[in-house]
A and B are shown apart, each in its own frame.
Chain A
Amino acid sequence: MAGAAVLGRLTWRVATVLDVRPETARAKTLVLGVDGWPGHRAGQHLDVRLTSEDGYQAQRSYSIASAPRQDRLELTVERIDDGEVSPYLAGDDLREGDRFEVRGPVGGYFVWRSDAAGDVLLVAGGSGIVPLMAMVRQRAEETSPVPTRLLYSARSWDDVIYRDELERLAGAGFEPLFTLTRSQPAGWTGYARRVDASLLGEVAPTPPAATFVCGPTPFVEAAASALVGLRHPPERIKTERFGPTGG
């Protein structure tokens, strides 16, 4: 029946900016209202399409930061200076009421199901925290008891996205750990080195039931192969890489 095929199709919907929240010097969270948004699962993303007045279009994929909820959707976008879409979304000019198109949610691989049994390790490099934050938020909203450890690598304390919220959510089985690779505030007691086998071995001495790694491609490659080297079963490690997509 034609109706079923139409239902299964991915359609572009209008997203309206309801609020813009700065997170760090380079990252902003956009709160969006999307009519007819079908809901999503933690870890999924959506495609964004921008259209200029003369019809030029650019399209990129962004992770959803908010926990699964129907009424509002949050994206956190880090500005890449020589990028095409992120300077618009995370720039100074975007404001409440601005509109663009989205389709989704897409992706069923890098997804956490809150009913899955067993402990979870989340490994984030830079803005790779975004889809992992959706998982952390869902866990908190559902008061899930799943033991969850987050290892979040950033250049400095000021580059840590969702810093206050992560610290506030700590406890009740959620343990955020930070490693700051370039500079550390005075009195810093967290990690201050790159994510490698020795750091991952300290953070996850035994293989968790599920591990999610997200970050720039070289970060993900290094972290995933270090985990496999530590004899974590590869089928329990899910990865998501991001980076430039060329021209």
Chain B
Amino acid sequence: MPIVSRGFKGKRRGEGPSDRVPPGQYLTDDFPVLSAGPTPHTPVDQWDFTITGEVDELTRWTWDEFRALPSETFTVDIHCVTKWSKLDTVWEGVRLDTLLERVETAVDYATAYCDGGYTTNVPLADLAGGRAWVVYGYDGELLDPEHGGPARLLVPHLYFWKSAKWVRGLRLTATDEPGFWESNGYNLYGDPWREQRYWGD
């Protein structure tokens, strides 16, 4: 048994309401920055978003084309596998439904790929139905590079490592191919409500 350090509480604000905060998570007011590599600073005139892989035709949007797509501002809770949760975060971006309706595919999985080389896998079904976005705004401002700007994937019903920063596209695949963390210990799916943190959870 580890010994208790008198008076130590940590930065946690508390456990929060159990219908909002998944098991094993703690609330934070901060927005911690976690990164598996250096922060890319991709100018928007060099940015595009591409859907590739098992598709009938490669689909690509430039920054201006992407910003011209129908967008929405919405509020969701986010849950990081390192045990912090942040409630009522406000984002602006494009629903994945809007992007995927331009694409003809017969497969069921997607890998998001990013500047800097990060990847993460998500079933296509989880990207559909108004549950996933590519966001470029946070809290009324353009998304800061340290939080994934120009744009990041946002899949708030899964652990936050799935919400890939600096996202540049989706590669559609016939099988569920483990991404950067999923290939080395982290759960292939990552449902915070079932506490699917690691392999075998």
Q: Interface residues, chain A, CB within 8 Å of chain B?
A: 12, 14, 49-53, 56-58, 82, 84, 88, 93, 98-101, 246-247
Contact = CB atoms under 8 A, between A and B. Distances in A.
Contact of A247 (B4, B8, B9, B80): B80
Interface in B29-49: 30, 32-35
A99 B8 CA distance: 11
B2 A101 contact: yes
Contacts of B7: 88, 93, 98
Given A56-B26, A247-B32, A12 B82 contact: no
Nearest to B82: A247
Contacts of B26: 56
Nearest to A53: B4
Contacts of B3: 14, 51, 99-101
A52 B32 contact: no
Interface of B: 2-12, 26, 28, 30, 32-35, 80, 82, 84
A99 B5 contact: yes
A88 B8 contact: yes
A53 B7 CA distance: 8
Given A49-B2, A50-B8, 6 more contacts: A51-B5, A52-B5, A99-B5, A101-B2, A246-B33, A246-B34
B150 to A, nearest CB: 21
A61 B28 CA distance: 23
Contacts of A50: 5, 8, 10
B9 to A, nearest CB: 5
Nearest to A93: B7
Contacts of A88: 5, 7-8
Contacts of B6: 98-99
In this complex, which of A56, A82, A99, A247 has the most chain B Cβ atoms within 10 angstroms of its Cβ?
A: A247
